[in-house]
Amino acid sequence: MDTLGKTITCLAAIAWKTNSSLSLEEVQVEPPKAGEGRIKMISTGICGSDDHAIKGIIPLKYPFIPGHEGAGIVESIGEGVSSVKPGDKVLTLIVPQCRECSACLNPKGNFCEKQDILPSSGLMLDGTSRFTCKGEKIYHSFRTSTFSEYTVVPEISVVKIDAAAPMDKICVISCEVPTGYGAAVHSAKVTPGSTCVVFGLGGIGSAIVMGCKAFGASRIIGVDINEEKFPRARALGVTDCLNPSNLKKPVQEAVKEMTGIGVDFAFEAIGLAETMVAAWDSCHVSHGVCIIIGVSPPNSKFSLSAQTVSTGRTLKGVCLGDYKTKDCFPQLVTAYLQNKINIDPLITHQLPFDQLHKAFELYHAGKTIRCVLLF
Ligand code: APR
Ligand code: ZN
């Protein structure tokens, strides 16, 4: 292939400074070094975490190329790479799986010590970047940077998937599906007949609702300040919709009244301290499980009434459904290909990559569940 070992010039989106709109630029993408792969992106989703990064809620180094929910094809590999080869269909992994650190060696959890989210260096594992624009060094985001026609990722941040995977939508298995669906079915293990509340009915919340429904929840209460999200949420399985702005009482009081005492499972997929506390307070006093998925700003704190803790409720944070990413994401792809999980209702928009600004407008206007950008 003529790009092998050469720097590629291509289109990418750059966040030059905090909270500014992204600009589409010509960037140079260096060849992969040892232990890395260069990926030709095919599709990438716009996730709440990218918006958090652009707004500085997840602090990254500027200027950077955003994006983490990606599907692509390996263009070339660096020395020593064995788990992927040129031509393979792959997903990018916002949380890697190095298989060596204390997190990877423990059967529970998945937050690999080699992640680059909290905190973020914006650099590859060797401390350098593979991107430049107009002669300036450009930082990576989460070591994925999927808002680029080509990106370079560590081998531990990419995984080969089934060659039959439809590349125009499978990218949502790189974040939205494990984060939401996985939180319900793999982390919480929602039980048949149970009651659930989901705070936030965006991409992640919608995937949580699908998981609750798939595992037989009898009642799923959806909470969102944007009522435009309600019809789709109902179609996915939400039985009751609540808009906190229209309630005369705190939303947790409404949830408790609706269920008699509180839900079996509460999920927070917004990223605000106040909705995390509301999710906790919505839980059944004895066995309620509160799952926090939303990522909140760096100095954000919440306080719980200490007495509400000792009665038996569980508070658990979950990232990517607790799945070990490299081991499990290909299995999720296969489950989709076997019609065991349906990802299609989670994608509401598909736009060409160069219409990124329109895609973000739709996202900020609350019109999208997931908008997938196609290269
Ligand atoms: N109360 C209720 N709903 C709210 C509130 C609020 N105060 N603020 C925002 N919302 C709703 C929005 O209207 C939107 O429907 O939360 C939803 C958030 O959805 P998206 O913006 O689509 O974000 P998503 O990709 O689902 O991510 C949600 O999970 O993974 C994390 O970092 C991610 O914190 C983010 C969260
Ligand atoms: Zn994401």
Strand locations in the chain (E): 8-14, 23-29, 36-45, 64-65, 69-77, 89-92, 131-133, 136-140, 150-154, 158-160, 195-199, 219-223, 240-242, 265-268, 289-292, 314-317, 349-352, 371-374
CA 151, 156, 159, 160 torsion-angle sign: positive
| pTM for this predicted structure | 0.96
Please, which pLDDT band fits residue 175 given cuts at 50, 70 and 90? very high
User: Could you read off the pLDDT of 314-349 as tens digits, one per residue?
Assistant: 999 999 999 999 999 999 999 999 999 999 999 999
- How far, in Å, is the centroid of ligand 2 from the Cα of 259? 31
- How far, in Å, is the centroid of ligand 1 from the Cα of 271? 7
**What pLDDT is attached to residue 19?**
86
**What pLDDT is attached to residue 1?**
57
52 tagged catalytic = yes
Q: Are strands 265-268 and 158-160 parallel, antiparallel or unpaired?
A: unpaired
Q: With a cut of 60, say whether residue 209 has pLDDT above it.
A: yes
- Supply φ then ψ for residue 8, to 5 degrees: -105, 135
- Choosing from 112, 175, 290, 371, the catalytic residue is 175
Transcribe 318-374 into DSSP letters. Answer: -SGGG--HHHHHHHHHHHHHTTSS--GGG--EEEEGGGHHHHHHHHHTT--S-EEEE
Q: Side chain identity at 144, as an amino acid letter?
A: T
**What pLDDT is attached to residue 32?**
98
- How far, in Å, is the centroid of ligand 1 from the Cα of 200? 5
Quote the tokens at residue 296: 């909140």
Contact 111, 66 (CB under 8 A): no
Three-class secondary structure of residue 230 per DSSP:
helix
First to last CA, the chain: 20
User: Could you read off the pLDDT of 127-169 as tens digits, one per residue?
Assistant: 999 999 999 999 999 999 999 999 999 999 999 999 999 999 9
Distance, in Å, from the CA atom of 239 to the CA atom of 218, rounded to the nearest integer, reads: 8
Three-class secondary structure of residue 225 per DSSP:
coil
Contact 26, 132 (CB under 8 A): no
How many angstroms separate the Cα of 278 from the Cα of each of 200, 223, 285? 12, 11, 13
Contacts for 209 with CB less than 8 Å, ≥ 6 apart:
180, 198, 201, 220, 222, 233, 236, 237, 238
CA 178, 184, 186, 192 torsion-angle sign: negative
How many angstroms separate the Cα of 52 from the Cα of each of 116, 298, 329? 15, 11, 23
**What pLDDT is attached to residue 358?**
97
* CA nearest ligand 1 atom 3, residue: 224
**What pLDDT is attached to residue 212?**
98
Contacts for 81 with CB less than 8 Å, ≥ 6 apart:
32, 34, 35, 36, 37, 155
186 tagged catalytic = no
**What pLDDT is attached to residue 325?**
98
User: Could you read off the pLDDT of 1-28 as tens digits, one per residue?
Assistant: 589 999 999 999 999 999 889 999 999 9
CA atoms in the 13 A half-sphere facing the CB of 184: 28
Q: Please report which ligand is nearest the Cα atom of 93.
A: 2
- Supply φ then ψ for residue 133, to 5 degrees: -145, 125
User: Could you read off the pLDDT of 289-311 as tens digits, one per residue?
Assistant: 999 999 998 899 999 999 999 99
**What average pLDDT does range 218-227 have in this prediction?**
98
Q: With a cut of 90, say whether residue 233 has pLDDT above it.
A: yes
Q: Are strands 36-45 and 371-374 parallel, antiparallel or unpaired?
A: antiparallel
68 tagged catalytic = yes
Please, which pLDDT band fits residue 252 given cuts at 50, 70 and 90? very high
User: Could you read off the pLDDT of 70-117 as tens digits, one per residue?
Assistant: 999 999 999 999 999 999 999 999 999 999 999 999 999 999 999 999
Q: Which residues line ligand 1 (CB under 6 A)?
A: 47-49, 52, 179, 199-205, 223-226, 229, 244, 269-272, 275, 293-295, 366
